[in-house]
Structure 1
């Protein structure tokens, strides 16, 4: 009869074989399909996909015990600006472990953050290239802040300390400017960032009019910023019709969201300062315009007053000159009046003499003296014999007398 083993014995053989054949630590590239913490330990599910079909071709479990995880995690998050999450590609240093009761797993002794940074940079560059190819990468930069940018839509977590800091900074500005803010709550860390912010943007677009949008995330950790490096969110922000300010609150390389927004600042309070400074620049410009208008008006008034003063001094002199000329003309006219009257009287007397001579030629007595006679009927001159009727009495005047006759 063949020798048989208990399960424990067989598993011990497997463990010994693995420990003998794989005594070293190995660096392995993999994608995280799951990552969770429990009692200070980190449990991961590793996967490798076919590059063409994205079909899983290898799977394995991995564990990072608390004594290592407490050191690895902070360093990884500080370096990458993110925490480990599903879908992330990682480079792990592992060694094999087979436990008789719990089976096989890879034990993680280190994680290289530079590998993950390279993969993140590659994905981010792919998104950037896509946005540029679509022609939307710089659309936000072409927008201008309204002159009076005071109605602000805020996308943030309602409980985030950064949101309160932002509102307090606006309210307590040293110039007394008044701002109206409305919060559109959104998830700003972990899963759901992309969908939550896109939904908030849709509510802003479909709601009342705002001068700009501020996306702030102050108060949270610097890890897990992958939600701000997605194509869908970047496209929504790039195509938004009013300026968007991002104050996500991290010092690492810009996220894609920062790149496509109108203006990127580091913190929520910096976003508030930007809005205050913008309004202050508008106020300064208005004051400068007012001062220039006042100065220009004063200069114009001064010039007009000078002209008026000069004119007031000139008018009496001109008036005196005109009066002197007119008086001279009047005096000359008065001097000439008697002479003109004498000439006119002489001319009229001569004309009257001529008329008198002409009238003498029409004197009837002169005509009678020349041998002419005048026949009258009822006191009127008879010019046509047809005017007379038989029995009419006519009167003929001669130089020496009058002859009366009866028409037969």
Structure 2
């Protein structure tokens, strides 16, 4: 057995002969790309097939497309699909088995069917659109309105992109002299990092959202094949739910990404986005000018009408004054006659009342005099009954000190001279003690 041993090269050559003899044909194979990169003009791919239930890889294979084929296949594929070959993409490849003594086994690509990939891409796009509509966010941006004075613009773009410069120049050099404030939030605008980079830029804008009126996402040129980064669910959800209107200018006439679909407004290019903002502000200015003209016209018409009315009133005033004067004089004359008549009636009534009162006065006076006379007689009797002389006649005496009646011994002191009145005379005494 040891005499039949082979070198590795001989063994690999044998395998190569078997494969070339048993598998001489080319085969169309469906697979997913897990890796794809170019080197020296050649394209190196790794194909993978996953279990539909668990997504676990169940088959892998190395694939190569040599430069002679790749320079033909690649432009056609990208022109048809609008995308570059990248990991995660499903493809339909025409391959032939090849075994190389030094490099081992690989499948050699001779053709790629772009229509297969287009179908898969379309299915993915439709699934994303369906999911966005099911979530109720697909048209959220369309419900927003650009602010009337939309001048503070947050821009998401590549910092070195020519499109960003074109956008700023278009705003700055607008023919109306409008002033815009733009602030760049740099992001990757092509390749695999688009989704996460743009989302991060939106998050940064959201942190200072009160400083801006809208967001513009622009991409200055670039291949159509770089558009795949704008067809992702996560990015579409972030844009759809963003609280500011988002304007996109990332594609060309025939390329509409899912990002374009969910944005507030989609335009073709960065300069078109700038023109949109300038035109929007011009429309606002025109509306303000129209409103000003309308207000001025209405004011002038109102003033003209009022002036005409004032002139008519001025002309009518003398005539109206004469009529009013005549009417007022007639009313005053009527009032005078009424007052004179009422005064006559009132005087007659008062004279009658005065005559009645005058006739009653003697009787009332006599009655009052009789009453007062009687009252005086009663008072006189009371005064007479209280006359001190009557008390003196009854044997009482009155002691006076300085003309006032003494009521208690305490009112006097030793040496005071007092006067005692009796019925038939007066006695003067001096107090010795009490």
Range of TM-score over shorter length: 0.7 to 0.9
Alignment of 1:87-98 (within 5 A): 87-98=88-99
1:41–1:69: 8 Å Cα contact kept in structure 2?
Answer: yes
Q: 1:228 to 1:311 in 2, by over 3 A?
A: same
Alignment length, in residue pairs?
375
Match of 2:239 among 237, 240, 244: 237
Q: Is the 8 A contact 1:29 1:92 kept in 2?
A: yes
> Aligned to 2:109, what secondary structure does the other structure show?
strand
Moved more, 310-319 or 230-239: 230-239
116 and 328 in structure 1: CA distance in 2 versus 1, 3 angstrom threshold:
closer
* Structure 1 unmatched ranges of 5 or more: 363-380, 391-408
**C-alpha displacement at 1:253, in angstroms?**
4.4
Residue 153 (structure 1) aligns with: 154
Q: C-alpha separation between the residues in 1 aligned to 2:336 and 2:217?
A: 96
In structure 2, distance between residues paired with 1:11 and 1:331: 142
Is the 1:155–1:215 contact (alpha carbons within 8 Å) kept by the matching residues of 2? yes
In structure 1, what is the equivalent of residue 320 of structure 2? 318
Alignment map for 1:214-253 (pairs within 5 Å): 214-253=216-255
Q: 1:316 to 1:113 in 2, by over 3 A?
A: same
Q: 1:18 to 1:314 in 2, by over 3 A?
A: same
Measure the CA separation in 2 of the matches of 1:133 and 1:100: 55
Assess if the C-alpha contact under 8 Å between 2:164 and 2:220 holds in 1.
yes
Partner of 2:298: 296
Output one character per residue of 1:252-280: Cα deviation in whole Å (capped at 9) or x when no partner. 44222112111111111111111111111
Distance 1:333 1:107, change over 3 A: closer
Once residues 135 and 324 of structure 2 are traced to their aligned partners in structure 1, the CA distance between those partners, rounded to angstroms, is 82
The answer (yes or no) to whether the contact 2:63–2:109 under 8 Å persists in 1 is yes
Pairing partner for 2:263 from 261, 264, 272: 261
Q: CA RMSD in A?
A: 3.6
Stretch deviating more after TM superposition (180-189 or 107-116): 107-116
| Structure 1 residue matching 2:95: 3-state secondary structure | strand
Identify the range of structure 1 (180-189 vs 112-121) with the bigger mean alpha-carbon deviation.
112-121
Paired residue for 2:195? 194
TM score, norm. by length of structure 2 = 0.76
1:347 deviates by: 8.1
TM-score by structure 1 length? 0.81
Distance 1:333-1:125 versus aligned 2 partners, 3 A rule: closer
Report the alpha carbon displacement of residue 152 of structure 1 after superposing the two structures with TM: 0.6
Matches of 1:67 and 1:35, distance apart in 2: 17
Cα offset for 1:206?
A: 0.6
**C-alpha contact (below 8 Å) 1:37/1:43 kept by paired residues:** yes
Structure 2 unaligned blocks of 5 or more: 364-372, 385-434
Higher helix share: 2
Task: Confirm whether residue 285 of structure 1 aligns to residue 287 of structure 2.
Answer: yes
* Pair 1:170 & 2:158 matched: no
Confirm or deny: 8 A CA contact 1:249 1:268 kept in the other structure: no
